[in-house]
Structure 1
Amino acid sequence: MVARWVSGASPLLIAIIAGAVTANIVSLPQRIQPGLQFCAKRLLRVGVALLGLQVTFTEILGLGPATLAVVVAVVVLGIGLTMLLGRLLGVSWTQRLLIACGFSICGAAAVAAVDGVVEAKEEELITALALVVVFGTLLIAILPPAAQALGMNEHAGGVWAGAAIHEVAQVVAAGGAIGGTALTTAVVVKLARVALLAPVLAAVGWHLRRRSTPQEPGRSVPLVPLFVLGFLACAGLRTTGVIPDVVLDAAGFTQTTLLTAAMFALGTGVRLDTLARVGIRPLVLATASTACITSIALAGALLAA
């Protein structure tokens, strides 16, 4: 309901904030913890799989080689540079991976999906989610006037917004502020980034399997998690065009509901005392990552225009 009243407000981000506020003003009873864990793990994975129904490979390919190159560059270079900068700052591997994927791919959903593969520490997860909320919201206010100041046309502005901003709802808000053509372009570019979530998670799973040793076997990490296969299957099914609109609407509502429940559960782990213990380094990394991704997206948008 709040998302309808506030421009650019994503139900996922609202749920994170609501969970964090709740956890910091009241003491949540221990008996609800299993339910919160179920939402944060099981419901999350089903919701990510259904997210594939937002993506059609036909629309993505219709962007053309130049724009697709921008999307790939943002994801690959964004993750690579964030991981490198995080190592220089002394940020843990899992923490910088969560930030890198959240900022480079699709915000809170990417952070939570990557956590489903690597199982980061709780404080690392909640820090990445909090940073997604803060920096994604800031970009809504910054990008439209910046695009106008740079004299970008609507197509280029839409590519920039879709390639740089985290959440789909935030992209809609920024693209709409630039113009009607920008809105359409921005959403398709954003969904192209979402589609890259699957190969990135597969690469993370492969990396974890490769670096495991007989002395430190850890948990068994599937090369391609089941929910990633579900995501690809849903995207392929959507591309065929055989799914009726009424089914897509119902699936979209279900996906949003599941991810919102998962984000609320994750948000209950966002405690101020925990964030205070994390320190300044993740914030510095998030700032540098935002600058890198926004710059790469801007250069690509100008070249592809």
Structure 2
Amino acid sequence: MGNLNAKALSVTEQADLQQKNLEPKPSGGLWLGGIAFTIVVAELGYALSKVPGFDHVGPLACAIVIAVFYRQFFGYPEKLRAGIQFSAKRFLRFAIILYGLKLNIDIVLHQGLGLLARDVGVIAFAIVLTVWLGKLLKAESTLSLLLGVGTGVCGAAAIAAVSPIIKAKDEDTAIGVGIIALVGTIFSIVYTILRPFLPLSAIEYGIWSGTSLHEIAHVALAGAPAGPDGLAIALLAKLGRVLLLVPLSFILMYWMKRKNTSNPGDTKIEFPWFLIGFILMSLLGSYVFGKSIPVSKTALDGVATATTFILTSAMVGLGLNVSLRDLRTKAARPLIAMLITSVVLSIVTFFIS
């Protein structure tokens, strides 16, 4: 009888622990194992991105695909959850901070103010149209918003930055990043094919690419056929959109607080401290590194590569939360909304370039 009571008590205690989320924390070895797991899959994503056919998609999308399929065939590695979630959350924020080095504020402010005003219109247009179309198609609203931000600003980095602000699910973030990488790659390839047949000068083509394509990598891919001048103006137009990620994030914070006033228990919005880091790194990259403090191009390229790898590891953690069944049911309508927006955005910016 004593043993039975002990067993019953043990079951009760376990139920209480689960109910109160007081389960014992995983050991340090398992925590590190989860981080190592995301790094290994990220390396596989890099390897896959070198394969012909996947080389234009990029390591982020490749790593997400591997993570999604791993979950479907082998399930979520529960014992490694703590480390995986650390990668998904902390690595993501750290990568956004490092991403700030890619933004040269000095060049944007001195040479791209005219483009910056155009970029404001592009971002507003992309977000409003994608969200409106998503609503029209009865798509998942948060995912539509993420895709609108990714289309208007700077792809995966923008989605990763605003996700915690609008309290998006990890699954929605991963789906959004995967969609934006795929669609952006297709558009950038189409741009390079159309380049010889378009009645645009190198500068005009560069402005068109920089104001309409999704990721910096997509702009670089599409802008290269226009020569060094066309590529330079394309990247300048794109950097203006990256700069606008900061004010957009604070606008979304304000919008979320106003939206949640009807639910007093859900009005607290976590301040995106990583954006402060993003701004500081941008200032360092613009006014310190290479000027007051000499830094070689090799070192900066190494940081850029490390940033992409860290972001790729974070995408693995997010991808493991994606269910293929949910992907089929959730992604189709937001994808259609984003595709329509991307096509319309390309046409409109073509005629004003």
Q: TM-score with structure 2 length normalisation?
A: 0.77
Q: Which runs of 5+ in 1 are unaligned?
A: none
Worse-matched range after superposition: 103-112 or 180-189: 180-189
Letter in 1 for 2:242: V
Tell me the number of residue pairs that the alignment of Structure 1 and Structure 2 aligns: 300
Judge conservation of contact 2:102–2:282 (CA < 8 Å) in 1.
Answer: yes
Judge conservation of contact 2:170–2:318 (CA < 8 Å) in 1.
Answer: no
Judge conservation of contact 2:64–2:174 (CA < 8 Å) in 1.
Answer: no
Alignment match of 2:136 (pick from 88, 97, 103): 88
Matched, 1:285 2:337: yes
- Higher Cα Rg, which structure: 2
Alignment match of 2:102 (pick from 54, 57, 79): 54
Deviation per CA, 1:19-53, whole angstroms, max 9, x where unpaired? 23433343342112222211111110111011111
3-state SS of paired residue (2:265): coil
Q: Which residue of 2 aligns with 1:233?
A: 280
Q: Which residue of 2 aligns with 1:179?
A: 227
Q: Which residue of 1 aligns with 2:42?
A: none
- Separation in 2, partners of 1:161, 1:26: 41
Matched, 1:251 2:272: no
Q: Which residue of 2 aligns with 1:113?
A: 161
Q: Which runs of 5+ in 2 are unaligned?
A: 1-45
CA RMSD of aligned residues (A): 2.3
Q: TM-score with structure 1 length normalisation?
A: 0.88
Q: Which residue of 2 aligns with 1:137?
A: 185
3-state SS of paired residue (1:151): coil
- Separation in 2, partners of 1:296, 1:63: 23
Q: What's the offset of the Cα at 1:243?
A: 4.5
3-state SS of paired residue (2:339): helix
- Separation in 1, partners of 2:293, 2:73: 44
Q: What's the offset of the Cα at 1:105?
A: 1.0
Deviation per CA, 1:59-118, whole angstroms, max 9, x where unpaired? 112444432222222112111222222222223431221111111111112112211212
Q: What's the offset of the Cα at 1:256?
A: 2.0
Alignment match of 2:243 (pick from 195, 213, 233): 195
Q: For residues 155-170 of structure 1, what are the structure 2 equivalents within 5 Å?
A: 155-170=203-218
Residues 61 and 70 of structure 1: is their aligned pair in 2 closer, same or farther, counting only changes over 3 Å?
same
Letter in 1 for 2:72: N
Q: What's the offset of the Cα at 1:146?
A: 2.6
Alignment match of 1:31 (pick from 79, 82, 85): 79
**What percent of counterpart residues are identical?**
30
Letter in 1 for 2:326: T
- Separation in 1, partners of 2:106, 2:171: 39
